[in-house]
């Protein structure tokens, strides 16, 4: 039966090939995979198989189609119908690209002409430093057993500085090729010493739940800031890495290191990049067994700001989060705007970095509002026990609901100037396209 169907498909396809219209791997599919998949799906990286060559991809064709049609791959969970859609390093596929892959698989997954094959993307070796670090923080080594469930957790290490300093460049690396295979993701933060941490309800801008430093994901290079920009690294904090590790068939040591190049001592950059837990829930988290619960969190931005990154944070019941702006108003009617909504999957802590032209510019007094949904029912396949009530806490089986927001503070003058510049750009764009512009 199977053979027959393939033959029929082959017959249907042949005229297309002759007319040069059929979908082939080298011409149509490889460019999509090169852009959106091979950062993770290449030898030595943490994804289960390579998607570099025709030989690599052919056995996976059906599975590739299923994952891209379901929008499970590449991992990118933003709602495409709400809010900002232009980001840095957005690997997501257009509907047309998904159709191309589906058509290719359905029509027999032809190779096509070798001459059409795009050059393979080159990547920096992710186990080497791409920066010259002044300090290297080695997190404690974690042993990943040969087989077993994925491991999630936090590891802490000292930050060897004696004064507050500003970060000029930062990179996470796995110290060995074997480590690289077991580290699914690793996000680094500067936090209070966990032994002295107090869980507080204070969510005012700048108050510490820690500072997000950098994520480690496949294909991601070092972050190097412009000379007049940097991230504050405070003395007395601990480095914390939040990890997701998985077994690869043999016992493996996960060795994760954080390398940091510092601005000169005493130098304060003009643009300081903040990244903190904002819009924490204002009430205790209270999710009855078997239900989906909504949780709201708020942070008042006392200064004008340019938002640069959005990273929803929840635990295993997390389902979806929206970020809304509540603008300051002198009149009686409030003005709000939803910036983005993203589905949430605990396996993937994705940071959405706005493009320079879409970074929201917000006036002083704006309230950031997160709306988080947690699914504590049987419908959530990650739910370890839908019969249990869930509340706040640090364990993965407890819940959280806030966003890591990356931003630059702006003076009111900078805010006005940047807003005027943005409006100018949008007017220019409006005259060249008929598309209405979403952002102010």
Binding site for ligand HEC (CB under 6 A): 33, 36-37, 39-41, 46-48, 51, 60, 63-64, 67-68, 73-75, 91, 93, 184, 217-218, 347
Check if the beta carbon of residue 350 is closer than 8 Å to that of residue 75. Answer: yes
- Cβ nearer to ligand HEC, comparing 254 with 287: 254
Taking the complex as a whole, the smallest distance from the CB of residue 227 to ligand HEC amounts, in Å, to 30
Strand pairing class (229-233; 271-278): parallel
Pick left, alpha or beta for residue 206 (phi over 0 → left; psi -120 to 50 → alpha; otherwise beta): left
- Cβ nearer to ligand HEC, comparing 50 with 277: 50
Sheet holding 318-327, edge to edge: 292-300, 367-375, 318-327, 335-343
Taking the complex as a whole, the smallest distance from the CB of residue 244 to ligand HEC amounts, in Å, to 10
> According to DSSP H, which parts of 294-433 are helical?
412-432
DSSP line for 342-357 = EE-BTTB---EEB-TT
- Cβ nearer to ligand HEC, comparing 51 with 293: 51
Residue of 413, 347, 349, 167 lying closest to 272 (CA atoms): 167
Taking the complex as a whole, the smallest distance from the CB of residue 360 to ligand HEC amounts, in Å, to 25
Strands (E), 159-287: 165-174, 183-191, 211-216, 223-224, 229-233, 238-245, 252-254, 256-262, 271-278, 286-287
- Cβ nearer to ligand HEC, comparing 184 with 374: 184
Residue of 438, 304, 283 lying closest to 372 (CA atoms): 283
Taking the complex as a whole, the smallest distance from the CB of residue 341 to ligand HEC amounts, in Å, to 20
Taking the complex as a whole, the smallest distance from the CB of residue 93 to ligand HEC amounts, in Å, to 6
The helix or strand, by DSSP H or E, that contains position 6, with its residue range, turns out to be helix 2-19
- Cβ nearer to ligand HEC, comparing 30 with 241: 30
Report how far residue 317's alpha carbon sits from residue 377's, in angstroms, rounded to the nearest whole number. Answer: 9
DSSP line for 46-96 = SSSS--SSHHHHGGGHHHHHHHHHTT-SS---B-TTSS---BTT--PPPHH
- Cβ nearer to ligand HEC, comparing 67 with 111: 67
- Cβ nearer to ligand HEC, comparing 61 with 272: 61
- Cβ nearer to ligand HEC, comparing 152 with 298: 152
Residue 384: CA count within 13 A, CB half-sphere: 11
Report how far residue 225's alpha carbon sits from residue 247's, in angstroms, rounded to the nearest whole number. Answer: 34
Taking the complex as a whole, the smallest distance from the CB of residue 94 to ligand HEC amounts, in Å, to 11
- Cβ nearer to ligand HEC, comparing 142 with 184: 184
Bond into 74 cis (ω within 30)? yes
Taking the complex as a whole, the smallest distance from the CB of residue 144 to ligand HEC amounts, in Å, to 14
Query: φ, ψ for residue 257 (rounded to 5)?
Result: -130, 150
- Cβ nearer to ligand HEC, comparing 106 with 392: 106
Cα 420 vs. chain centroid, distance in angstroms?
30
- Cβ nearer to ligand HEC, comparing 47 with 131: 47
Taking the complex as a whole, the smallest distance from the CB of residue 262 to ligand HEC amounts, in Å, to 29
Report how far residue 416's alpha carbon sits from residue 361's, in angstroms, rounded to the nearest whole number. Answer: 9
Taking the complex as a whole, the smallest distance from the CB of residue 77 to ligand HEC amounts, in Å, to 12
42 is written with which tokens? 């290449």
Residue of 402, 389, 368, 371 lying closest to 199 (CA atoms): 402
Which residue(s) pair with 155 in the sheet? 241
Taking the complex as a whole, the smallest distance from the CB of residue 158 to ligand HEC amounts, in Å, to 30
Taking the complex as a whole, the smallest distance from the CB of residue 103 to ligand HEC amounts, in Å, to 14
């Amino acid at each position: 039966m199977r053979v027959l169907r393939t033959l029929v498909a082959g017959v249907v396809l042949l005229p297309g090939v002759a007319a040069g219209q059929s979908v082939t791997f080298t011409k149509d599919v490889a460019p999509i995979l090169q852009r959106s998949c091979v950062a993770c799906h290449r030898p030595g990286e943490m994804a289960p198989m390579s998607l570099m060559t025709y030989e690599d991809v052919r056995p996976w064709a059906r599975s590739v189609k299923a994952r891209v049609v379901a929008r499970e791959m590449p991992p990118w969970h933003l709602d495409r119908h709400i809010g900002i859609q232009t980001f840095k390093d957005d690997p997501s596929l257009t509907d047309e690209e998904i159709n191309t892959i589906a058509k290719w698989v359905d029509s027999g997954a032809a190779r096509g002409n070798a001459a059409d094959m795009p050059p393979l993307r080159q990547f920096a070796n992710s186990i080497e430093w791409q920066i010259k670090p002044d300090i290297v923080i080695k997190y404690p080594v974690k042993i990943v057993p040969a087989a077993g469930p994925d491991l999630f957790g936090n590891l802490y290490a000292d930050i060897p500085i004696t004064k507050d300093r500003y970060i000029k460049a930062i990179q996470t690396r796995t110290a060995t090729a074997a480590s690289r295979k077991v580290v699914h993701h690793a996000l680094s933060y500067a936090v209070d010493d966990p032994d002295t941490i107090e869980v507080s309800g204070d969510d005012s801008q700048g108050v510490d739940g820690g500072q997000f430093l950098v994520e480690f994901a496949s294909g991601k290079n070092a972050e190097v800031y412009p000379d007049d920009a940097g991230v504050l690294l405070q003395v007395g904090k601990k480095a914390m890495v939040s990890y997701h590790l998985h077994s690869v068939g043999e016992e493996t040591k996960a060795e994760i290191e954080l390398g940091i190049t510092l601005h000169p001592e005493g130098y304060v950059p003009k643009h300081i990049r903040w990244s903190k837990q904002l819009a924490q829930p204002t009430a205790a988290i209270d999710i009855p067994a078997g239900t989906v619960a909504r949780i709201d969190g708020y942070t008042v931005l006392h200064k004008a700001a340019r938002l640069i990154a959005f990273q929803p944070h929840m635990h295993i019941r997390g389902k979806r989060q929206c970020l809304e702006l509540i603008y300051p108003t002198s009149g009686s009617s409030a003005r709000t705007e939803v910036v983005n909504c993203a589905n949430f999957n605990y396996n993937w802590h994705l940071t959405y970095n706005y493009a320079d032209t879409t970074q929201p510019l917000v006036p002083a007094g704006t309230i950031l509002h997160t709306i988080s949904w947690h699914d504590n029912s049987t419908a959530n396949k990650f739910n370890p026990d839908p019969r249990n009530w869930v509340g706040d806490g640090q364990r993965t089986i407890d819940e959280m609901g806030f966003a890591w927001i990356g931003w630059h503070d702006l003076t009111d003058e900078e805010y006005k100037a940047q807003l005027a510049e943005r409006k100018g750009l949008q007017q220019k764009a409006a005259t060249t396209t008929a598309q209405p512009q979403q952002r102010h």
